[in-house]
Structure 1
Amino acid sequence: MKFFDNKVIWITGASSGIGEALALQFSNYNCKLILSSRRKDVLVAVKAKCTNQEHIAVLPLDLANTDGMPDVVKNAIAIFGTIDILINNGGISQRSPIIETTIDVDRKLIEIDYLGTVALSKALLPHFVANRSGHYVVVSSLMGKFSSSYRSAYCGAKHALHGFFDALRLEHHKDNVKVTMICPGFVNTNVARNALTADGSQQGYQDDMTQNGLEVNTFAKKMIKAIRKQKFEAYIGKFEKFGVYVKRLSPRLIHHMVLRSKVK
Structure 2
Amino acid sequence: MKYVDGKTIWITGASSGIGRELALQLNKKGCKLILSARNEKALQKVRNECGSTNTIAILPLDLEDFGSTQQKVSEALSFFGTIDILINNAGISQRSLIIDTDFEVYRKLVDVNYLGTVALSKAMLPHFVASKKGHFVVVSSLMGKFGALPRSGYCGSKHALHGFFDVLRMEHEKDNVSVTMICPGFVQTDIAKNALTKDGTPQGTDDVENNNGLPVAVFAKKMINAIEKQKFEAYMGGKEVMGVYVKRFFPKLLHRMVIKSQTDKIKRS
The normalised TM-score by structure 1 is 0.98
In structure 2, the residue corresponding to 1:206 is in which secondary structure?
A: coil
What are the within-5 Å matches in structure 2 for residues 70-109 of structure 1? 70-109=70-109
Question: What's 1:31 paired with?
Answer: 31
* Deviation beyond 3 Å, 4+ runs, structure 1: none
Question: What's 1:178 paired with?
Answer: 178
Deviations 1:170-214 (A, max 9, x none): 000100100000000000100000000000001000111111111
In structure 2, the residue corresponding to 1:120 is in which secondary structure?
A: helix
Whether the aligned pair in 2 keeps the contact of 1:77 and 1:83 (CA below 8 Å) is yes
Question: What's 2:4 paired with?
Answer: 4
Extract unaligned runs of 5+ from structure 2.
Answer: none
- Cα drift, residue 120 of structure 1: 0.1
- Cα drift, residue 250 of structure 1: 1.2
Query: Which whole-Å CA distance do the structure 1 matches of 2:22 and 2:253 have between them?
Result: 35
Query: Which whole-Å CA distance do the structure 1 matches of 2:190 and 2:177 have between them?
Result: 32
1:193 alignment partner AA: K
Query: Which whole-Å CA distance do the structure 1 matches of 2:170 and 2:63 have between them?
Result: 25
The normalised TM-score by structure 2 is 0.96
Query: Which whole-Å CA distance do the structure 2 matches of 1:225 and 1:3 have between them?
Result: 9
When the two chains are superposed, the root-mean-square deviation of aligned CA atoms in Å is 0.9
Query: Which whole-Å CA distance do the structure 2 matches of 1:2 and 1:231 have between them?
Result: 15
In structure 2, the residue corresponding to 1:96 is in which secondary structure?
A: coil
The reply on whether 1:159 has 2:159 as its aligned counterpart is yes
Question: What's 1:110 paired with?
Answer: 110
2:193 alignment partner AA: R
Question: What's 2:68 paired with?
Answer: 68
What are the within-5 Å matches in structure 2 for residues 208-223 of structure 1? 208-223=208-223
Extract unaligned runs of 5+ from structure 1.
Answer: none
In structure 2, the residue corresponding to 1:4 is in which secondary structure?
A: coil
What are the within-5 Å matches in structure 2 for residues 118-137 of structure 1? 118-137=118-137
Aligned-pair identity in percent equals 62
Deviations 1:9-63 (A, max 9, x none): 0000000000001001011012100000001111000111114332111110000
In structure 1, the residue corresponding to 2:186 is in which secondary structure?
A: coil
Whether the aligned pair in 1 keeps the contact of 2:11 and 2:89 (CA below 8 Å) is yes
1:238 alignment partner AA: G
2:202 alignment partner AA: Q
Question: What's 1:189 paired with?
Answer: 189
Structure 2 vs 1, CA of residues 184 and 94 (structure 1 numbering), >3 Å: closer, same or farther? same
In structure 2, the residue corresponding to 1:2 is in which secondary structure?
A: coil
